[in-house]
Amino acid sequence: MTMMDTICEFVAKTEFEDIPDETVSYTRSMTSKIVAAMLVGAKTVAGQRAIEYGRASGNGKEVGAIGTQKKFSLEDAAFVNGITCHAAELEDDQFPSATSDITIFPVGFPLAEKYNVSGKSLITASAVGIEVMHRIGMFPLSSKGITDLPFYGVIGAAVTAAKMLNLSPEQIKSAIGISLGRASGFIANFGTDAHYVESAAACRDGLMAARLAKLGMTGTADLEGWLTGVCKGTNFDLNKVVEGLGEPTWKVHQTWIKKYPCCFLTHRHIDMMLDILAEKSVKEEEIEKIDIHVGPVDYTCNRPFPVDTEDARFSFHHVLGAIMVDGDIDSHHFTKESLSDERIQNARKKVNVIRHDDWPSEFMSGLALLEITLQNGTVISREKEQARGGPKEPVSDAEVETLYRKYTRPVLTESQIDKTWEMISKLDKTEDLSDLIDLLVNP
């Protein structure tokens, strides 16, 4: 069988019972994270603009978008969800190619509402969508200036929708083929709302691809040819795409759980910075300078003077400046008030980003290095390969719950947090998701 045939058979035939228990649990954890992201992101400036866009489109009121208290057409709901969850900068990604769950769950929830599917069906479609997306999208394209997340993410969205719509293998093949023509996304848009629009468009277009395929429209079946073309000039081995597909160890577990509401490229250094501050009790005024060592792609977060709140989420200087001042990094650090805080502005001046062009040209490349020089001349340094939450240093279920509670607290009451967390924790045991979806759409 061809690569496309193998993948489509896997998507069509995989049932909930075929998914390992640990993969079900991990998918459930990611569900809670992206639900939190959509709730928080609906309150951001970008989220509010997306809601207004969806409202003004007038395409119908089929289903709700999470956190918006409004109904939209099916595809507009996926688009709005796609904006809100990314605007919160709480997505979970595979690395080094950065395929993400934010092109999965924004599609799954509107479909679950429209077709009244069970929690098992939502988890099955989400796990299968992530698995296929991570495999097809395992080859980084960042050296070409392409953002892998939306570029490959449209395939994940198409597969998730295809599974929830119960498409046949031939229809799934067409859904993937149609989605390939919608692949897009560029690193140049980091730090702007366009970065969120790219992943939201992947959600919408992947859903569109599956719906068109269900109606009989066709797309290319030459997945190998497409991948060979887009990956030309990079190091790739197409045999790895279907190697071990459906076996007990799923690629879903290659997803890094995100802990902080800012660009993932800053997270290794955030972990090291927080560890140093905790271990050494270092105060901001004791720090003379901070040297950050990164590869050529991560250097995109060298932004000493962020121009707005979205730019600040991609700024090593702002992120570490906020940590120096407040000892933590949270959503409130990406507001106009925080951006104009003189204490953080002064702390930002201490951060220096050093680029290593000999490191691989991909996300999270090299061994991240953080060097803090104190006023007394002492140098404290740390190195880190992966951020906490990566496969080599996974977070616990209890930590995932803490993250859910932390990020939903500004938008939900404590009783709402308790109730929604309990319902998400039992997602695979819930036949009717309407109560959960209503709570999430109308907090």
What is the per-residue pLDDT for 60? 85
Q: To the nearest whole number, what is the mean pLDDT of the chain?
A: 97
Q: How far apart are CA 230 and CA 43, in angstroms?
A: 36
Residue 389 lies inside a defined structural domain of this protein: no
Domain match, 16 and 155 both: yes
**Looking at residue 135, which CATH number applies to its domain?**
1.10.4100.10
Q: How far apart are CA 180 and CA 220, in angstroms?
A: 8
Predicted TM-score of the model (pTM): 0.95
Q: In the chain, what is the straight-line distance between the N-terminal and C-terminal CA atoms, in Å? A: 48
In the chain, % of residues over pLDDT 90: 98
pLDDT tens per residue across span 197-247 = 999 999 999 999 999 999 999 999 999 999 999 999 998 999 999 999 999
The structure tokens listed for 36 are 């939190």
Q: How far apart are CA 267 and CA 69, in angstroms?
A: 32
Confidence at 110, pLDDT banded by 50, 70, 90: very high
Domain match, 409 and 274 both: no
Domain match, 205 and 296 both: no
Residue 37 lies inside a defined structural domain of this protein: yes
Q: Which domain holds residue 403?
A: 3-259+394-441
Q: How far apart are CA 333 and CA 46, in angstroms?
A: 16
Q: State how many domains the chain has.
A: 2
**Beta strand 379-384 pairing with 255-256:** unpaired
Domain match, 127 and 192 both: yes
Whether the bond between 96 and the residue before it is cis, its omega within 30 degrees of 0, is: yes
Domain match, 190 and 46 both: yes
**Looking at residue 342, which CATH number applies to its domain?**
3.30.1330.120
For residue 194, give the nearest of 327, 89, 310 by alpha carbon.
310
Residue 370 lies inside a defined structural domain of this protein: yes
Q: How far apart are CA 218 and CA 181, in angstroms?
A: 12
Domain match, 254 and 268 both: no
Q: Using the predicted structure, report yes or no on whether residue 59 has a pLDDT greater than 90.
A: no
pLDDT tens per residue across span 307-361 = 999 999 999 999 999 999 999 999 999 999 999 999 999 999 999 999 999 999 9
Say if CB 203 and CB 155 are below 8 A apart: no
Residue 308 lies inside a defined structural domain of this protein: yes
Q: Using the predicted structure, report yes or no on whether residue 58 has a pLDDT greater than 90.
A: no
Domain match, 205 and 239 both: yes
Q: How far apart are CA 440 and CA 442, in angstroms?
A: 6
Say if CB 356 and CB 338 are below 8 A apart: no
The structure tokens listed for 287 are 């720090």
